[in-house]
Structure 1
């Protein structure tokens, strides 16, 4: 199945984990080549204005500062989607009940696998002080 369709199914699992208070972390990994952008992370953040995630861009170069931004889950999706297949070939969803991995193969097909959970509790991220 084309990766876009499979990613839609994967993102449904992300939303479901948020609704059930099981979302621990999301990591975009396995970069294509050696770009300066190393990872993109999403972690839940305590917010009085509805559910928010802390989006973090982590860079390889120490000269490039990591970028953090507090977003809604829908806003985070719009930031994450353009990096699929262009920068990253896999996205890992960590929940308190299971780990879910989304991968894109060389033919542009997507797949989802599940494993035992890495995290057993939700830990809220704290934004770095500047």
Structure 2
């Protein structure tokens, strides 16, 4: 199955974990080559105007400052999509009940696997910025 279709299914699990209060963190990892962008982290922020996430772009070089932005879940989906296959081969969803891994193989096919949860509790990102 094409990775774009599988990512839609994966994102449904992300939305479901948010609705059920189980979303702990999302990480884009396994970079392609050695780009300056090392990871993208997504952590929950519960604010007065609904559910938001803090998206952090982490860079390899110490000269490049990490970039953080607060977004809705839908805005985050649109922001992350262009990084699939071009910059990252995998996305890890951490929830309090299971970890879900989305991977893209060299042929461009996507897959989803589940494992035991890494996080027991939801920890909100520091949103003081």
For 1:30, the equivalent position in structure 2 comes to 30
* Superimposed CA distance per residue, residues 102-128 of structure 1 (whole angstroms, 9 cap, x where no aligned partner): 000000000000000000010000036
Q: Secondary structure at the match of 1:90?
A: strand
- After superposition, the Cα gap between the structure-2 partners of 1:128 and 1:57, relative to the gap in structure 1 and judged at 3 Å, is farther
**TM-score of the superposed pair, with normalisation by structure 1:** 0.97
Q: Secondary structure at the match of 2:47?
A: coil
**TM-score of the superposed pair, with normalisation by structure 2:** 0.98
CA shift, 1:28, in A, is 0.1
Query: Please, which runs of 5 or more residues in structure 2 have no aligned partner?
Result: none
For 1:105, the equivalent position in structure 2 comes to 105
For 1:125, the equivalent position in structure 2 comes to 125
Do the aligned partners of 1:68 and 1:127 also contact (CA within 8 Å) in 2? no
RMSD of aligned C-alpha atoms? 0.8
For 2:61, the equivalent position in structure 1 comes to 61
Q: What is the CA–CA distance in structure 2 between the aligned matches of 1:49 and 1:69, rounded to whole Å?
A: 16
User: Runs of 4+ in structure 1 displaced over 3 angstroms?
Assistant: none
Q: Secondary structure at the match of 1:65?
A: coil
Q: What is the CA–CA distance in structure 2 between the aligned matches of 1:81 and 1:47, rounded to whole Å?
A: 25
Q: Secondary structure at the match of 1:93?
A: strand
Q: Secondary structure at the match of 1:46?
A: strand
* Superimposed CA distance per residue, residues 77-117 of structure 1 (whole angstroms, 9 cap, x where no aligned partner): 11100000000000000000000000000000000000000
For 1:40, the equivalent position in structure 2 comes to 40
Aligned pairs, number: 129
